[in-house]
Amino acid sequence: MMAKQAETTIHDIAKYLNISASTVSRALNDNPLISEATRKKIKKVAGEMGYRPNTLAASFRTKRTYNIGVIVPLINRHFFSSVISGIEDIAYNQGYTVSISQSNDNFIKETKIAKTMFNNRVDGVIVSIGMETKSFEHLKLFPEKNIPLVFFDRVVDEIDAHKIVVDDFGGAYRVTKHLIEQGAKRIAHIGGPVNLKIYDHRRKGFLKAMQEAGLKTKKSLIIHNSLRKDDGVAAIRKLMEKNEKIDAIFCANDTTALSAIIYLKELGIKIPDDILVMGFSNEPFSEVTTPSISTVKQPGFLMGQKAAELLIHQITSNDTKVNYQTLVMPTELLIRESSRRNKTD
């Protein structure tokens, strides 16, 4: 029925007004070279003719897409979706579009995504790498072609770029210190894969606080796994098997903390009376469990905003040599029920 709706172009407008396409182009872009009068006239006609700019043609010509690529492990997780939300917030207000892909913590997929974004000529990329990612050639593509790249949270040391990280060390340090202040002496730590810096830092923050307090940490009290739901249970089981005496557990994320708490309850162990538990990340659920879980708040939305700001700044400025910075975002300790020793002493 309806034919293929020929699109109006600047040439159609030009012809209609008996002027040149260049003038139309400039007028529509508010180029000051064009007089107020013609500009108005052109815009009016453009509207009437149902003109819609062909962003593709423009991008093709100018080599600027105003598109930012975002690669995250999983969209559907509170921290990441908060960051994305922050990125989108800034990007949108600066006239950028945001394309998002999730790697599912799969290295092959991450590689493919990077290549696709690279070919799609994104103006810049914001990345948080997957668990499996140990080689970085697919990411080096971007700096090699001078395409701005910003990392957040799960960053890559081997690549020079702006980085937004959470103060994992400090957060973990304060968590541990808090546990110690509550009287804990034999504290276990359930951490994530240490090839990811964030978990390494959390471990180090933990160790530092222990050391400062003059407490020694048995190797067997430190367990690393992938911090999924079951891993909390598995870790606790391991500790119990070895008959470890512990009075507190610092889990590197809330998911593990929760699953540990549930399992410990099943074993008849009371939280926080018998064992103090803390998590990390402030997942929405951590506030409403029983007991509510003490944790560390990471400013996801803000991190996204910062990442986008740095990226866009780098895209916009044409400085060849950028002074790369690593922004360490402050964390906030949220003391809730799971780590507050009831007055029993």
Partner DNA sequence: TTCGAAAATGCAATCGATTGCATAATTTTA
Partner DNA sequence: TAAAATTATGCAATCGATTGCATTTTCGAA
Q: Which residues bind its own copies (CB under 8 A)?
A: 1-2, 5, 52-57, 59-60, 65, 67, 74-78, 81-82, 84-85, 88-89, 92, 97-102, 109, 113, 116, 118-121, 145-146, 258, 262, 283-285, 287-290, 300-301, 320
- Answer with the entry of DNA, its own copies, none that 35 interacts with (C-beta below 5 to 8 A by kind): DNA
Number of residues in contact with DNA under rule CB under 7 A: 29
Q: How far apart are CA 96 and CA 80, in angstroms?
A: 19
**What tokens were used for 103?**
């790697």
54's CB contacts (< 8 A; 6+ apart) are 7, 9
**Candidates 28-36, 150-158, 215-223, 245-253; binding stretch for DNA (CB under 7 A):** 28-36
- Residue 344 partner contact from its own copies, DNA, none using kind-dependent CB cut-offs of 5 to 8 Å: none
| Coil/strand/helix, residue 296 | strand
CB of 203 to its own copies, least distance (A): 26
- Length of the chain counted residue by residue: 345
Please identify which residue in 30, 32, 95, 214 interacts with DNA, judged by CB under 7 A. Answer: 32
Nearer of residues 10 and 188 to DNA, judged by Cβ: 10
Q: What are the strands, taking DSSP E only, across 114-240?
A: 124-127, 149-152, 162-166, 187-191, 222-224
DSSP state of 68: E
DSSP state letters, 170-191: HHHHHHHHHHHHTT--SEEEEE
Minimum Å distance from CB 177 to its own copies?
A: 27
In angstroms, how far apart are the furthest CA atoms of the chain? 91
Provide the minimum distance between the beta carbon of 24 and DNA in the complex, in angstroms, as a whole number.
Answer: 7
The item of its own copies, DNA, none sharing an interface with residue 19, based on CB under 5 to 8 Å by kind, is DNA
The interface region with DNA, picked from 55-63, 171-179, 304-312, 326-334 by CB under 7 A, is 55-63
User: Residue 254: is it exposed, middle or buried by C-beta count within 10 angstroms (0-12/13-18/19+)?
Assistant: buried
Decide which of DNA, its own copies, none touches 217; Cβ closer than 5 to 8 Å per partner kind.
none
CB of 226 to DNA, least distance (A): 41
Rounded to whole angstroms, the Cα distance separating 134 from 125 reads 19
Comparing C-alpha atoms, which of 102, 95, 145 is closest to residue 120? 145
Cα 342 to the center of its chain, rounded Å: 36
Residue from the set 44, 48, 49, 57 that interacts with DNA by CB under 7 A: 57
Smallest distance from its own copies to CB 7, Å: 8
Q: Is 3 a residue that touches DNA (CB under 7 A)?
A: no
Calpha distance 114→128 (Å, rounded): 12
Which parts of this chain interact with DNA (CB under 7 A)?
7, 9-11, 18-23, 25-26, 28-29, 32-38, 51, 53-54, 57-58, 60-62
